[in-house]
């Protein structure tokens, strides 16, 4: 019997152990975006917002920790749930956050022509692809870690 069987959900460590190739593939997707050069502070804001929408406690805490570690503006991190009204975000950040929300809720608003055009006004072809991969990746992580109930990591400053 697995040591995690008595818990209400699984752990990230159990996922790593039970599905090492899937874990490696998901980590590789994130690394590919980082290596391609899309700004890490931007992707962390998007990952945090998408994780909030998907109610993934593990990913919310993980990306809060990363955002703090890399020096993302504290006010932007604190106001991410209300980014449209906060008056803190650049047009590029707003476009990325809107694209993240759109892709996360595609089934509710399947027509992406306007959303895509709005995002494309702020991103090159390469950046648009990188941003979309980052959003797809965090949605996959949210469904795994949120769906299986991974406990969040400890908060770090």
For the chain, the structural domain boundaries read 22-147
Q: Closest Cα partner for 119 from 138, 136, 139, 102?
A: 102
Decide: 62 and 151 in contact? Cβ < 8 Å: no
pLDDT at 8: 64
pLDDT at 113: 84
Tell me the average pLDDT across 11-24: 97
pLDDT at 1: 44
Residues composing the chain: 157
Half-sphere exposure of 148 (CA within 13 A, CB side): 17
Confidence grade of residue 143 (pLDDT, cut at 50, 70, 90): very high
pLDDT at 56: 97
Tell me the average pLDDT across 115-131: 96
Task: Read off the pTM.
Answer: 0.92
Q: If phi over 0 gives left and psi between -120 and 50 gives alpha, with beta otherwise, what is residue 71?
A: left
Query: How would CATH label the architecture of 22-147?
Result: Up-down Bundle (1.20)
Calpha distance 110→96 (Å, rounded): 18
Is the pLDDT reported for residue 35 higher than 90? yes
Better-scored residue on pLDDT, 15 or 106: 15
Calpha distance 74→15 (Å, rounded): 31
Confidence grade of residue 122 (pLDDT, cut at 50, 70, 90): very high
Half-sphere exposure of 71 (CA within 13 A, CB side): 1
């Amino acid at each position: 019997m697995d040591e995690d069987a008595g818990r209400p959900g699984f752990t990230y460590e159990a996922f790593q152990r039970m599905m090492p190739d899937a874990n490696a593939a998901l980590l590789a997707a994130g690394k590919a975006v980082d290596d391609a050069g899309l700004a890490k502070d931007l992707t962390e804001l998007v990952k945090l917002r998408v994780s909030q929408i998907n109610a993934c406690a593990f990913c919310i805490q993980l990306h809060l920790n990363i955002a703090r570690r890399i020096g993302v503006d504290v006010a932007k991190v604190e106001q991410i749930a209300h980014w449209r009204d906060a008056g803190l975000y650049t047009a590029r950040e707003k476009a990325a956050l809107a694209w993240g929300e759109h892709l996360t809720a595609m089934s509710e608003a399947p027509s992406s022509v306007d959303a895509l055009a709005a995002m494309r006004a702020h991103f090159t072809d390469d950046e648009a692809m990188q941003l979309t991969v980052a959003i797809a990746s965090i949605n996959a992580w949210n469904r795994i870690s949120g769906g299986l109930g991974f406990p969040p990591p400890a908060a770090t400053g």
